[in-house]
């Protein structure tokens, strides 16, 4: 039986959760996730959202059928799509009388002590005021996020969870959790809980999506970072009904990583 008692939660929403293969934002699903976050907040918990999907949203707006390989064009898609993405968050949270704040960040913010101190102070103040911070990598001026190193905001979510002393990081993706092999394989088995991220776990591979760049290994790496900082991590399917409420109700869903 799980025993998650989280007061400060980071929720990472992956590209494939809120964006279809054609690049169109799944507004209905995003609205349902927002409603769940509103329910979590109503119980006195603080929630930080790490969102992907800006590039996918921009692709649809610019009528592109596939993700551009050119970095500059990816950045253009992100610049166009970020505005669309945030307008949805603002609208859906507004229906629950919850204010949101957009924060676009680059990796450099974590390496400069003064910059990060200001960033952390702002986040803490927003949470104190009841505002939900919506954080995304600043793709138009960042190459790392668009390249392989950040992996669809997985590592960013882990950094935020660890630096903000979150109790729980929930990584929402389009599969049911971490499997012992590619989940499309007929013999793939869901790994329900992990107490130690061994080399065998880190070696599990999977496929990145058409719209996002995060695969299994980036999520395991993110889980390792967050659990080292003392957070519980759950990787779950964001398309499962009431997935966030089920995680917080300690239902047996997804893969849970326990801190050492």
| pLDDT tens for each residue of 243-260 | 999 999 999 999 999 997
Q: Does any domain span residue 3?
A: no
Q: Can you give the pLDDT at residue 143?
A: 58
**Pick from 111, 109, 112, 93: which is nearest to 101 by CA?**
93
Q: Can you give the pLDDT at residue 213?
A: 43
CB atoms inside a 10 Å sphere around CB 187 = 8
Q: Would you state the structure tokens that stand for residue 37, as one six-digit string?
A: 């976050």
* Size (the chain), residues: 260
Q: Are 37 and 68 in contact (CB under 8 A)?
A: no
Q: Does any domain span residue 2?
A: no
Task: List phi, psi (to 5°) of 223.
Answer: -60, -40
If phi > 0 it is left, if psi is from -120 to 50 it is alpha, else beta; for residue 19 that is beta
Q: Would you state the structure tokens that stand for residue 191, as one six-digit string?
A: 């790994």
Q: Does any domain span residue 165?
A: yes
Interatomic CA distance for residues 183 and 219, integer angstroms: 15
Q: Can you give the pLDDT at residue 17?
A: 93
Please list the ranges in the chain whose pLDDT falls under 70: 22-23, 142-152, 203, 205-214
Task: List phi, psi (to 5°) of 98.
Answer: -115, 130
pTM value?
0.91
Q: Does any domain span residue 122?
A: yes
Dihedral Cα 110, 116, 119, 121, nearest 10 deg: 140
Q: Does any domain span residue 1?
A: no
SS3 at position 178: coil
**Pick from 253, 245, 248, 177: which is nearest to 32 by CA?**
245
Q: Does any domain span residue 91?
A: yes
**Burial of 18 (C-beta count, 10 Å sphere; 0-12/13-18/19+):** buried
Q: Does any domain span residue 181?
A: yes
Q: Can you give the pLDDT at residue 147?
A: 43
Interatomic CA distance for residues 149 and 30, integer angstroms: 26
CB atoms inside a 10 Å sphere around CB 232 = 24
**Domain span at residue 193?**
8-257
Q: Does any domain span residue 113?
A: yes
pLDDT in tens, 188-216: 899 999 998 877 777 675 554 433 444 78
**Pick from 146, 122, 147: which is nearest to 135 by CA?**
122
Q: Can you give the pLDDT at residue 210?
A: 39
Can you point out the beta strands (E) in 165-237? 168-173, 193-194, 232-237
How many structural domains does the chain have? 1
Here the CATH number for the domain that contains residue 135 is 3.40.1160.10
């Amino acid at each position: 039986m799980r025993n998650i008692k989280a007061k400060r939660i980071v929720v990472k929403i992956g590209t494939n959760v809120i964006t279809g293969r054609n690049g169109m934002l799944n507004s209905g699903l995003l609205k349902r996730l927002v409603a769940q976050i509103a329910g979590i907040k109503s119980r006195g918990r603080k929630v930080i959202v790490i969102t992907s999907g800006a590039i996918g949203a921009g692709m649809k707006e610019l009528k592109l059928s596939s993700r551009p390989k050119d970095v500059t064009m990816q950045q253009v898609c992100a610049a166009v799509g970020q505005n669309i993405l945030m307008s949805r968050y603002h609208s859906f949270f507004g229906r629950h009388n919850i204010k949101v704040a957009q924060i676009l960040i680059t990796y450099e913010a974590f390496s400069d002590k003064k910059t990060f101190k200001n960033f952390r102070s702002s986040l803490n103040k927003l949470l104190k005021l009841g505002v939900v911070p919506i954080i995304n990598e600043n793709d138009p001026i960042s190459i790392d996020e668009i390249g392989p190193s950040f992996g669809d905001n997985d590592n960013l979510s882990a950094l935020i969870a660890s630096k903000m002393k979150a109790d729980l990081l929930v990584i929402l993706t389009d599969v049911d959790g971490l499997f012992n092999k590619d989940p499309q394989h007929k013999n793939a088995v869901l790994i329900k809980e992990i107490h130690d991220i061994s080399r065998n776990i880190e070696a599990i591979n999977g496929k990145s999506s058409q719209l996002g760049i995060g695969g299994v290994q980036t999520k395991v790496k993110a889980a390792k970072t967050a659990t080292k900082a003392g957070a519980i991590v759950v990787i779950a399917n964001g398309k499962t009904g009431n997935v966030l409420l089920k995680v917080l109700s300690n239902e047996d869903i997804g893969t849970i990583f326990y801190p050492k």
